[in-house]
């Protein structure tokens, strides 16, 4: 620092940077999120490249990492933080969710400017009606659709033929697929052979295997999920209940949902795909499976048909007498949108136009075809949301194998009969609650009607909260902020005056000034990063605030919600934390104690051993979570733990390997196993505790003739109980704040935290509310709930075992 040469160098460096900087910034950056680059998306890459070639002044930056499964938290944080991407590839059904939060830019102005002038500009008439409608919200367009996927019935003709006699005996035609629900059930029943050793060999039809969900069956039965005006959730109608009952019946007739799920959990992918192997005779699925089928089951005799519909609909009678359409399916897909605050919207619009245009789509498919052909594979194009592109692509890339061409055509023909999920801002909630209702009914925990009723209430609550928001007064956040700052300054001035008026010697005063200077890093940090935020968080906990829109004062509503409307989640998260602590504390204790005792031996090579036992605690958390995700893979052909289980416990006790992170019952145990692996290092503490037990007690006991068991229970355990209690409390506090590894290890990127929310912890819940939904107010109230629980626990801890309060003794 002191050397003048350093200063000179610095000046030079600055000058160089200044000189070069403008030259580099000539290109305009265009940041695109949500398009993943991988072997199956070579086409996307090709379009992006072609766009860059045509727009040499634009530097397209695809955030390739983490793009495949775009997570809402990242997007919202970036929008709120003013660093939004320019283009985002978004699941269409959630567009209205984002639009309602004011997080996407309407595209109407762009369209109005380009319509008729630019041939690339999307026109509604190019698109399938439902696809286009899904990207609109309240009369504005928020995204341009890209792909579209609908569901059809796939069936294995060979299985039909092999069971022709049985089918004929039941009055069914083995030459054709089922067309109605009742036929579907009959075929499914006959094509499911009896269980062997309590296990399925094959299932004829599992209603939700593939991709149909309740949505598709409900659409077929003319059920709606949200009322026309968008204010009422209508998923509890008899039509929806009927559809759900069909699903439940479908499972019950072959042996129940649980058995079916067990069967499914053994399914693998690629060449071991259940449909390819003939373990499933029929399924309803989307066009994405065609590539797997052509690659791994080219000789499979597949047949396709529209998904079977309710009998009344098929025969146009009863409720469906005047219904025009016989077949109905479900339609989804993605679209490109421009988030609010995008820095380069005009290039973003150019990109979207090119990417979604028929020309762009054909470039993509040509590139993908070349890529596949280089690898000796057949190419089957995916479905597009644009009818024009879809037809052109079919002409150009029609699969050579007629059965795949027929399947593709079937998908295309049904496009006009695809229904979309309701355009509503509660799309995500609706989706997850519809899944929950389906599971509840299938497990027979409630009747279809009751299950849907429960789900309806949850969704309705969110709807009501949104429409009632007007009743809460808007508050200007600047006022409390300034009040806080002014009060803070006044406080500091008062303290200063008090200090100056103290009677002190010169040296004393000098020392005090120095001390204040030294303490200032902490003091400033405390005021700005701790006390201020704490008060702010307390204030927010009485408001409804999503950063993008103005805050509203809601009083105690957030706290009431913790115990009321959202009690399911609160209770679940707390119960999970308690469960986790209850399992983790004793098991890590046992493992750690064993290791502590082992490492306490005098043995050769202790350094080497110690390294092994300590290493798990040193490994970066993310890396160990990633590693354990693989160790805990349920498939015994892949996962280390289950491979071992399969070789040992299964033949000995007949227990099949558990699903670990994939199963609601085992996911917490998975975390515990992982904790046990990392338990080796912290247990010196326990050793210290053990050594702290006075030997005189043991001597006295041995004189009295106590046996080892009595000694343990009468001396060691009571003496160690404060440590045990301390660990239990700390374990619970730690479990409440568990986040990182759950984030990495939970099976689905969004939706429930672990199967059936079994890995939801209080801090995870807070993170979700705060940063995924930006319910800052509610998240703050959760933070205060966590804080109060910790306070109470710590207080109890202090009261019950004062010997653990180190700092009270050293004064």
Partner 1 sequence: MTSSNFLFAFGTLLTWIGWFSAAGTVWTLFQMAINRTGIDPRRTMRSLTSSGLTAALCFIALAVLPMHASTKASAGFRLPLVWFVMPYSGWLGCASLAMAAYRLFQGILSISSTERIERIKAAGCWALALIAFVFLYRRDPANKIEIITGGLWLTTQTTVAVLLLAIAGIAAMVLAGRSTTTKGYARTIVTQSALLAGSIVFGLPFAFLVITSFKEDRDMSSPNGIVWVPRVQDTVPYFDKKSPLYKANFQNETVEGTIAKKNSDGTVKMDIIRPMAIRGTSFDVPMASLKEIPKEIPVVSGKADGVSFEGKVIEEMDDGHRRVEFLQPASLAGRQQVFAPADVEPVRHIGLRWANYSEAISFLPPETANGLVYLKNTLILVVMSVLGTILSSAVVAYAFSRLRFPGRDVMFTVLLSTMMLPAAVTLMPQFLIFRSLNWIDTLYPLWVPAFFASAFNVFLLRQFFKGIPMELEDAAKIDGCTYLKTFWSVMLPQIKPALAVIAVWTFMGAWNNFMGPLIYINSPENMPLSYALQLFQGDRGGEPGLLMAFATLCMMPVLAVFFFAQRYFIEGVTLSGLGGR
- Residues in 331-370 at the binding interface with partner 1, rule: CB under 8 A: 367
Residue of 9, 519, 556, 571 interacting with partner 1 (CB under 8 A): 519
List, in sequence order, every residue forming a beta bridge with 419; answer none if it has no partner: 330
Choose between 164 and 790: whose C-beta lies nearer to partner 1.
790
d(CA 108, CA 104): 12
Site string for partner 1, 290-309 (x = CB under 8 A): --------x-----------
21 binds partner 1 (CB under 8 A): no
Q: Could you tell me which stretch among 355-363, 550-558, 659-667, 781-789 binds partner 1 (CB under 8 A)?
A: 781-789
Q: CA separation (Å) from 452 to 207, 228, 420, 421, 457?
A: 18, 19, 19, 16, 9
Residue of 6, 20, 630, 713 interacting with partner 1 (CB under 8 A): 630
Q: Could you tell me which stretch among 206-214, 332-340, 466-474, 594-602 binds partner 1 (CB under 8 A)?
A: 594-602
Site string for partner 1, 489-518 (x = CB under 8 A): ------x---x--x-----x--xx-xxx-x
Site string for partner 1, 393-412 (x = CB under 8 A): --------------------
**In the complex, minimum distance from the CB of residue 456 to partner 1, in angstroms, rounded to a whole number:** 31
The two tokens of residue 134 are: 């899904």
Q: CA separation (Å) from 412 to 9, 148, 282, 382, 662?
A: 66, 10, 20, 10, 34
610 binds partner 1 (CB under 8 A): yes
With CA atoms as reference, report the closest residue to 304 among 275, 264, 332. Answer: 275
d(CA 662, CA 670): 10
* Size of site (CB under 8 A) for partner 1: 152
Residues in 546-565 at the binding interface with partner 1, rule: CB under 8 A: 547
The two tokens of residue 300 are: 């499979």
Q: Could you tell me which stretch among 86-94, 152-160, 348-356, 522-530 binds partner 1 (CB under 8 A)?
A: 522-530
Q: Could you tell me which stretch among 109-117, 211-219, 324-332, 732-740 binds partner 1 (CB under 8 A)?
A: 732-740
**In the complex, minimum distance from the CB of residue 198 to partner 1, in angstroms, rounded to a whole number:** 4
Place of tokens 């007690």: 697
d(CA 160, CA 302): 10
Residue of 266, 278, 488, 616 interacting with partner 1 (CB under 8 A): 616
Place of tokens 């500091």: 492
Residues in 22-51 at the binding interface with partner 1, rule: CB under 8 A: 31, 36, 38, 42, 45-46, 49
Choose between 112 and 791: whose C-beta lies nearer to partner 1.
791
d(CA 399, CA 422): 34
Choose between 164 and 701: whose C-beta lies nearer to partner 1.
701
Choose between 111 and 363: whose C-beta lies nearer to partner 1.
363
Are 95 and 142 in contact by the 8 Å Cβ rule? The answer is yes
* Total residue count of the chain as it appears in this document: 811
Residue of 598, 690, 697, 715 interacting with partner 1 (CB under 8 A): 598
Choose between 466 and 726: whose C-beta lies nearer to partner 1.
726
**In the complex, minimum distance from the CB of residue 450 to partner 1, in angstroms, rounded to a whole number:** 26
Cα 171 versus chain centre, distance: 46
d(CA 162, CA 506): 104
Strands 329-337 and 144-150: antiparallel
Q: Could you tell me which stretch among 319-327, 329-337, 637-645, 695-703 binds partner 1 (CB under 8 A)?
A: 637-645
In eight-state DSSP terms, residue 377 is -
Choose between 63 and 664: whose C-beta lies nearer to partner 1.
63
Residue of 237, 558, 584, 667 interacting with partner 1 (CB under 8 A): 584
Strands 280-285 and 152-156: antiparallel
Are 458 and 561 in contact by the 8 Å Cβ rule? The answer is no
**In the complex, minimum distance from the CB of residue 698 to partner 1, in angstroms, rounded to a whole number:** 11
With CA atoms as reference, report the closest residue to 308 among 182, 411, 194. Answer: 182
Q: Could you tell me which stretch among 101-109, 248-256, 374-382, 455-463 binds partner 1 (CB under 8 A)?
A: 374-382
Place of tokens 């994939």: 662
Site string for partner 1, 734-763 (x = CB under 8 A): x-xx-xx--xx----x------------xx
Place of tokens 């659409």: 219
**In the complex, minimum distance from the CB of residue 734 to partner 1, in angstroms, rounded to a whole number:** 5
Are 390 and 411 in contact by the 8 Å Cβ rule? The answer is no
d(CA 766, CA 760): 10
Choose between 121 and 632: whose C-beta lies nearer to partner 1.
632
Choose between 493 and 594: whose C-beta lies nearer to partner 1.
594
Spatial strand order in the sheet of 203-210: 203-210, 280-285, 152-156, 302-305
Q: First CA to last CA across the chain, in angstroms? A: 42
Site string for partner 1, 74-113 (x = CB under 8 A): x--xx-xxxx-x----------------------------
Place of tokens 């009723």: 453
Residues in 243-262 at the binding interface with partner 1, rule: CB under 8 A: none
Strands 329-337 and 418-419: parallel
Strands 140-141 and 136-137: antiparallel
Residues in 640-659 at the binding interface with partner 1, rule: CB under 8 A: 640, 643-644, 646-648, 651-656
Choose between 318 and 621: whose C-beta lies nearer to partner 1.
621
In eight-state DSSP terms, residue 32 is E
Q: Could you tell me which stretch among 130-138, 145-153, 351-359, 525-533 binds partner 1 (CB under 8 A)?
A: 525-533
618 binds partner 1 (CB under 8 A): yes
Residue of 578, 790, 801, 804 interacting with partner 1 (CB under 8 A): 790
664 binds partner 1 (CB under 8 A): no
Spatial strand order in the sheet of 474-475: 474-475, 551-553, 543-544
Choose between 734 and 752: whose C-beta lies nearer to partner 1.
734
Residues in 414-453 at the binding interface with partner 1, rule: CB under 8 A: none
Place of tokens 């959630």: 94
The two tokens of residue 670 are: 């998975």
Which H helix or E strand runs over 606? helix 606-618
Site string for partner 1, 189-208 (x = CB under 8 A): --------xxx---------
CB count in 10 Å sphere of residue 420:
23
With CA atoms as reference, report the closest residue to 790 among 742, 737, 718, 743. Answer: 737
**In the complex, minimum distance from the CB of residue 24 to partner 1, in angstroms, rounded to a whole number:** 13
Choose between 327 and 686: whose C-beta lies nearer to partner 1.
686
**In the complex, minimum distance from the CB of residue 355 to partner 1, in angstroms, rounded to a whole number:** 16
With CA atoms as reference, report the closest residue to 430 among 618, 591, 215. Answer: 215
Per-residue b or e along 560-583, where b marks 16 or more CB atoms closer than 10 Å to that residue's CB: ebbeebbeebbebbbebbeebbbb
Residue of 133, 548, 627, 715 interacting with partner 1 (CB under 8 A): 627
Choose between 82 and 395: whose C-beta lies nearer to partner 1.
82
């Amino acid at each position: 620092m002191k050397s003048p040469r350093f200063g000179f160098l610095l000046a030079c460096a600055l000058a160089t940077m200044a000189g070069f900087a403008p030259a580099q910034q000539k290109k305009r950056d265009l940041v695109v999120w949500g398009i993943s680059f991988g072997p199956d998306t070579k086409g996307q890459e090709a379009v992006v490249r072609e766009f860059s070639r045509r727009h040499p002044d634009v530097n397209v930056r695809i955030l390739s990492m983490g793009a495949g499964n775009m997570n809402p938290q990242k997007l919202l944080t970036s929008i709120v933080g003013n660093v939004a991407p320019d283009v985002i590839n978004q699941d269409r059904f959630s567009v209205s969710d984002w639009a309602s939060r004011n997080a996407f830019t309407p595209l109407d102005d762009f369209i109005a400017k380009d319509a008729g002038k630019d041939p690339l500009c999307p026109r509604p008439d190019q698109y399938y009606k439902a696809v286009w409608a899904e990207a609109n919200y309240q009369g504005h367009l928020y995204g341009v659709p890209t792909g579209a996927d609908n569901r059809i019935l796939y069936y294995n003709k060979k299985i039909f033929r092999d069971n022709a006699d049985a089918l004929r005996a039941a009055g069914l035609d083995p030459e054709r697929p089922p067309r109605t629900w009742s036929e579907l059930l009959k075929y499914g029943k006959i094509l499911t052979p009896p269980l062997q050793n309590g296990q399925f060999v094959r299932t004829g039809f599992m209603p939700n295997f593939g991709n149909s969900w309740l949505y598709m069956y409900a659409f077929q039965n003319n059920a709606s999920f949200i009322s026309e005006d968008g204010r009422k959730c209508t998923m509890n109608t008899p039509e929806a209940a009927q559809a759900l009952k069909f699903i439940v019946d479908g499972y019950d007739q072959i042996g129940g949902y649980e058995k079916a799920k067990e069967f499914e959990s053994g399914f693998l992918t690629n060449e071991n795909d259940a449909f390819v192997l003939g373990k499933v005779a029929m399924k309803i699925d989307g066009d994405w499976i065609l590539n797997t089928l052509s690659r791994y089951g080219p000789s499979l005799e597949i047949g396709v048909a529209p998904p079977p519909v309710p009998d009344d609909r098929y025969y146009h009678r009863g409720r469906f007498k005047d219904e025009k359409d016989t077949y109905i399916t479900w339609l989804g897909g993605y679209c490109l949108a421009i988030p609010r605050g995008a820095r380069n919207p005009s290039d973003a619009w150019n990109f979207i136009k090119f990417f979604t245009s028929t020309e762009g789509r054909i470039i993509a498919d040509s590139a993908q075809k070349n890529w596949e052909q280089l690898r000796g594979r057949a190419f089957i194009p995916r479905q597009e949301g644009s009818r024009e592109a879809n037809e052109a692509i079919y002409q150009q890339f029609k699969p050579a194998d007629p059965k795949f061409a027929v399947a593709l055509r079937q998908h295309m023909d049904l496009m006009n009969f695809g229904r979309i999920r309701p355009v509503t801002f509660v799309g995500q909630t609706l989706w997850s609650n519809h899944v929950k209702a389906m599971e509840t009914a299938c497990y027979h925990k409630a009747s279809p009607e009751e299950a849907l009723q429960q789900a309806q209430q949850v969704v309705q609550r969110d709807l009501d909260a949104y429409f009632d928001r007007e009743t809460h007064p808007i508050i200007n956040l600047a006022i409390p902020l300034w009040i806080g700052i002014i009060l803070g300054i006044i406080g500091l001035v008062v303290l200063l005056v008090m200090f100056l008026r103290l009677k002190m010697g010169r040296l004393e005063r000098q020392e005090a000034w120095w001390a204040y200077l030294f303490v200032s890093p902490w003091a400033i940090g405390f005021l700005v990063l701790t006390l201020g935020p704490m008060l702010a968080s307390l204030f927010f906990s009485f408001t409804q605030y999503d950063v993008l829109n103005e805050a509203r004062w809601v009083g105690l509503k957030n706290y009431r919600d913790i115990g009321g409307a959202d009690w399911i989640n609160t209770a679940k998260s707390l119960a999970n934390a308690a469960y986790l602590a209850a399992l983790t504390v004793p098991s890590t204790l046992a493992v750690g104690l064993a290791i502590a005792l082992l490492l306490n031996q005098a043995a050769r090579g202790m350094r080497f051993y110690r390294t092994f036992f300590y290493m798990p605690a040193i490994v970066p958390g993310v890396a160990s979570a990633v590693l354990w995700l693989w160790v805990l893979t349920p498939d015994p052909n892949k996962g280390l733990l289950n491979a071992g289980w399969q070789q040992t416990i299964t033949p000995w006790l007949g227990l099949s390997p558990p699903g670990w992170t994939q199963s609601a019952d085992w996911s917490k145990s998975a975390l515990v196993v992982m904790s046990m692996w990392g338990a080796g290092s912290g247990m010196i503490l326990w050793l210290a505790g053990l050594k702290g037990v006075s030997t005189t007690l043991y001597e006295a006991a041995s004189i009295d003739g106590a046996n080892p068991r009595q000694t343990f229970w009468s001396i060691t355990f009571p003496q160690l109980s404060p440590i045990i209690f301390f660990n239990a409390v700390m374990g619970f506090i730690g479990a409440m704040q568990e986040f990182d590894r759950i984030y990495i290890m939970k099976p689905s990127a969004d939706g429930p935290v672990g199967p059936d929310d079994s890995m939801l912890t209080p801090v995870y819940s807070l993170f979700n509310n705060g940063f995924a939904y930006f319910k800052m107010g509610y998240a703050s109230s959760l933070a205060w709930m966590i804080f109060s629980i910790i306070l109470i626990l710590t207080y109890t801890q202090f009261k019950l075992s004062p010997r653990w309060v180190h700092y009270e003794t050293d004064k």
